[in-house]
Each structure stands twice: as structure tokens, then as C-alpha cells.
Copies of this chain bind each other. A is one copy, B any other.
């Protein structure tokens, strides 16, 4: 029977690593290959990427990968996929530029066959006919996808909001959406990032007023921290700086790179003479300086983080400087961000941050926009995507509130497939999808066991008990040695370590010369764990090392 299967590989029940697959017959269409930044219960992990097992297994069936826009959570895991299989990639010009930058750095260009797509042009990828339509988001050249299949039309929104006054003048193509609606939509996959926010998301233009106010009041330098990928925001700051007669310098490698790509492709432009190298900025009077900096998430090694610590070579924060956080806190980064803000205040800067300051707007649709899209398209079936579980559920509730029945809305998790046939839509098989951690240069070797060990070690550290036993006489040959880290401050713990040594000696002598190393090790471990817990209420990892001399 004719069957269209939706295979959610990433972004369903989590923030980031967005990756959606559609299957019709033997043909697979992949949409986005994003990465995720680690949570605070993933210590030491650098990145999280989707599980590519399914894609690698079905490599021959993949007709192409289409990208909706150039943010890391949509393109960032591509190098890890291309390291395993080659692929045909389809993207709008800016997205393509950002992908190329990434692939060149990782020497993966030969694994990719790159194609430029433009809104309105139809491309055929096996059984799928894909037409992009323009959407508003916090990076230019963002698209949603109309995907025609033999079973019907699927609409994938990508990340979007409805902005009637975007900085680049290009509003979301509501006309195209209206036409799709007339055609009849089988299945809608829609962005849930802001499904918790009531009302409408403000236009990017809304920031102009707030930033102009900051520029008109500031006496010293203005430092604006934002995401390197917020191309529209960066263009806006350049325009306002020009208005107020301030030169613009860039601090931070990732910002320099994304500006350079966007400038080459015509998505950012500097009025003549406005841009200054960061090294030349100290020669200017403070009220003629505007610095665009990375580090809005409290990253200690990014430009703003180093400025706050006095470690940034070309910029020292002075009394009278104004620092603007034109960004939002990604959940989990709050502590680090606030620590940086505290440092900046201490150095005498005025710091402008937080939602109420009006210097940031979201790039994602809020509840009224999401309902508008649902009502405009009136799909037969609806799957909320891109968001933590609670956001998907909130998005589903929005659908119920405009009359959808629970049978036609599917809150999916990664790996839980949805099958559409002429008879309707229903949950399909569940394919195994793991969380793949990238730590250092290794991909996927760190699993939940290693992470659990790290969490345990971070709580109370460890104690190594080196027990040297006379193999012949079966008694302690040397005073047991205890090495600990992260458990207790050594100078205060002499008494406790002495108790531990006595406990070990007691165990060895109670063996009366009859023991094997494994049994002794187990007894030492158990005894020390009890002792440490009773005396300190802590549970360090205890590692016995039995040495027979």
C-alpha cells in the first residue's frame, strides 16, 4: 500500500539537533542535520548530534538533504554525517555559504554535492517534489518547505516567525502558504520553540527604538553582545552605529567568520569607512566606538567573557562603557551569563540585559502566530516539532484550542515514526535512536555510563587505597596509602585517613593470611565507603589497589 512515513531523528522532545526524515517507497528525504549544545547533566561533553545509524544504513536511498537555514541546530552536525556517507545538499545562498565554510574547515567538500535552491523553484528528489517558501527568522534566507508526495502535501515550517517589518524588508510569503492551503495539506510539521509564549513575537524592527535610545544616552563605548549567526541583528547594529557616528569593530572569531560570509554574499554591508579593526579601536574617542562581540552566553573564552575578566587584549572595560546583551539566555547558561554581567558592573560598565530592556526579540513564532499558521493551512494531521517535550505538548494544546481533535495531532519523540496512508495517519514502528555525544575528538564513545561516573565523581571525588600485603605472611607490609581528590581537604582530614588505615589493617589481619586479592579489595572498598559515609555523609568513589609484595 502507498505509504508516507515521517521519521523524527532529532529535535522532537529536545532543543536542537534538528533532523527530520520523510520516506516514501524506497526514497528518503532528509531535512536539516543540526547539533545540540550539552545540558548541565552532560559534564565534559562538547556537542550532541543525531544518531545517524538509520541514515548510514539507508544511505543508498537518500535522495538529498534540504536545509531550512544556516543556524548550528540545523546545519551543525553535517560534518559528522558526511564523515560517514557522501550526500547531495540543497540550500539557499547564505545557508550554502555557511555550510561551505564548515565543510572546508573539516576538509569534507569532496563528500558533498552542493546545490543552491531559491524560494518558488521546485526540485525533484525521488518521489518528493520540494518547493521552498520564504519565512522570517533571525537569519536571512530562511525557508519553509512544501513537499509534494504521491500521498499528498507535507509542509515543514523550518524555524519561523511572522514579521511584517523585517530588517531586510522580505516578509514571510503568506501568499505561498495560502496557495498551499487551497491545494490541501496532508501533514504540517511546525516549529514549537515559542509555543509557551502568549501573543505575537515582536518584529525585529521593534529593537530599533530600544537600540537608538541606548546609543543616544551612552557617553562611552558601546559593546553589543549577540549571536554570531544573528545576521539581521548585526546589520541593524551597523546601521544604527552609522546613524550615531560610531565606527564598528568585531570581537570574536565566530562573529568575524559569519560576518565575512554574509558580507561576501550580500547579506551584510558596512557603509564606507565604518568598519574598523579591533586593534585600531583604542585610538578613537570612546563615544565614536561600537564593538560587536561574541560571548552573550557567558562563555568564559569568548570575547565578552575575556573582556569581563580583563583578559581581552584590545579592549579593557572602563567606567562609562555600555554593554548591551542583544540576545537571550539559552536555558542552562544563566549562571555563567549572570557571572559575566556582575563582573562588567564591577568594572563600572552600564549593562543592559534581559527581556524588559527591549534589545532582543525572538526569531520564533509565538502562540497566536502558530494558531494563525494552523488555521491558514488547516492540515489534516499536525505534528509539533523543534522543541522540548513541554513545548510540543503546548503546541498540541494550541491545535486542540482551535478545534483539532486529539486523534489528528501527534506528539512524537525521536525515533517514533508516523505512517500516513490513504486510510489515515497512525503511529508506526519505533526505531532505536540514541543520543550521540561528541567529547573531544571522539564521537559516540561517551555513553550514559561514563556520564554517570562523571556526575558521581563531581559530587564527592575519589579515594584510592593502596594496600601492600606481604604475600607470604599475609599481613600489611606497608602502612596503607590513601590518595584522594575532590573528597575532602587533606590538611583537615588526617584523623579520618588514620581511621581508614586502621580499618584496612583490621581487615587484613582478620583474614589470618587466607585471602585472595579480589575478596580483600571488595572488603576494603565496602569498609571505607561505610566509614567515609558515617564520618562525613559523603560518598566518594573508593578504588582499592591490592599489591602483594
Interface residues of A (CB under 8 A from B): 13, 39-41, 43-44, 196-198, 331-332, 334-335, 338, 341-342, 345-346, 350-351, 354, 356, 388-390, 393, 397, 439-442, 445-447, 449-450, 453-462, 464, 466, 468, 483, 485-489, 492-493, 535-538, 541, 543, 545, 547, 549
- The answer to whether A197 touches B464, judged by C-beta atoms less than 8 angstroms apart, is no
Q: Which residues from B are CB-within-8-Å of A454?
A: 457-461, 486
Partner pick for A332 among B334, B545, B549, CB 8 A cutoff: B334
Q: Which residues from B are CB-within-8-Å of A332?
A: 334-335
How far, in whole Å, are A440 and B489 apart by their CA atoms in the complex? 13
Q: Which residues from B are CB-within-8-Å of A44?
A: 458-461, 486, 538
How far, in whole Å, are A486 and B535 apart by their CA atoms in the complex? 26
10 additional A-B residue pairs with CB within 8 Å, beyond A43-B459, A441-B535, A456-B486: A44-B458, A44-B461, A196-B354, A351-B393, A439-B536, A442-B537, A450-B489, A454-B458, A454-B486, A483-B545
Q: Can you list 28 pairs linking A and B with CB atoms under 8 Å apart?
A: A43-B459, A44-B458, A44-B459, A44-B460, A44-B486, A331-B335, A332-B335, A334-B334, A338-B388, A345-B390, A351-B390, A439-B536, A440-B536, A440-B538, A441-B536, A441-B537, A449-B489, A453-B485, A453-B486, A454-B458, A454-B459, A455-B458, A457-B461, A457-B462, A457-B486, A483-B545, A547-B547, A549-B549
Instruction: Give the distance to chain B from A340, nearest Cβ to Cβ, in Å.
Output: 10
- The answer to whether B457 touches A342, judged by C-beta atoms less than 8 angstroms apart, is no
- The answer to whether A393 touches B345, judged by C-beta atoms less than 8 angstroms apart, is yes
Q: Which residues from B are CB-within-8-Å of A393?
A: 345, 351
Q: Which residues from B are CB-within-8-Å of A335?
A: 39-41, 331-332
Q: Which residues from B are CB-within-8-Å of A345?
A: 389-390, 393
How far, in whole Å, are A338 and B331 apart by their CA atoms in the complex? 10
Q: Which residues from B are CB-within-8-Å of A341?
A: 389-390
Closest to A44 in B: B459
- The answer to whether A447 touches B489, judged by C-beta atoms less than 8 angstroms apart, is yes
Given contacts A441-B537, A483-B543, contact A489 B446 (CB under 8 A): yes
How far, in whole Å, are A180 and B537 apart by their CA atoms in the complex? 49
In the A-B complex, the 3 residue pairs with the closest CB atoms = A440-B537, A458-B458, A342-B389
- The answer to whether B445 touches A488, judged by C-beta atoms less than 8 angstroms apart, is yes
Instruction: Give the distance to chain B from A456, nearest Cβ to Cβ, in Å.
Output: 8
Taking the full assembly, how many copies of this chain does it contain? 2
How far, in whole Å, are A44 and B440 apart by their CA atoms in the complex? 25
Q: Which residues from B are CB-within-8-Å of A538?
A: 44, 439-440, 442
How far, in whole Å, are A450 and B489 apart by their CA atoms in the complex? 6
How far, in whole Å, are A41 and B40 apart by their CA atoms in the complex? 10
Q: Which residues from B are CB-within-8-Å of A196?
A: 354, 356
How far, in whole Å, are A447 and B489 apart by their CA atoms in the complex? 7
How far, in whole Å, are A397 and B335 apart by their CA atoms in the complex? 22
Q: Which residues from B are CB-within-8-Å of A439?
A: 460, 536, 538
Residue in A41, A450, A466 whose Cβ sees the most chain B Cβ within 10 Å: A450
How far, in whole Å, are A159 and B538 apart by their CA atoms in the complex? 34
Q: Which residues from B are CB-within-8-Å of A350?
A: 397
Q: Which residues from B are CB-within-8-Å of A13?
A: 342
Q: Which residues from B are CB-within-8-Å of A198?
A: 356
Q: Which residues from B are CB-within-8-Å of A493?
A: 445
Residue in A197, A332, A351, A489 whose Cβ sees the most chain B Cβ within 10 Å: A489
How far, in whole Å, are A198 and B338 apart by their CA atoms in the complex? 18
Q: Which residues from B are CB-within-8-Å of A442?
A: 488, 536-538
Closest to A537 in B: B440
Instruction: Give the distance to chain B from A183, nearest Cβ to Cβ, in Å.
Output: 33
Closest to A14 in B: B342
How far, in whole Å, are A39 and B541 apart by their CA atoms in the complex? 22
Residue in A196, A351, A390, A393 whose Cβ sees the most chain B Cβ within 10 Å: A390
Q: Which residues from B are CB-within-8-Å of A541?
A: 485
Q: Which residues from B are CB-within-8-Å of A462?
A: 457, 462, 485
How far, in whole Å, are A57 and B350 apart by their CA atoms in the complex? 39
How far, in whole Å, are A543 and B388 apart by their CA atoms in the complex? 40
Closest to A534 in B: B441
How far, in whole Å, are A538 and B459 apart by their CA atoms in the complex? 20
How far, in whole Å, are A486 and B331 apart by their CA atoms in the complex? 25
Instruction: Give the distance to chain B from A452, nearest Cβ to Cβ, in Å.
Output: 9
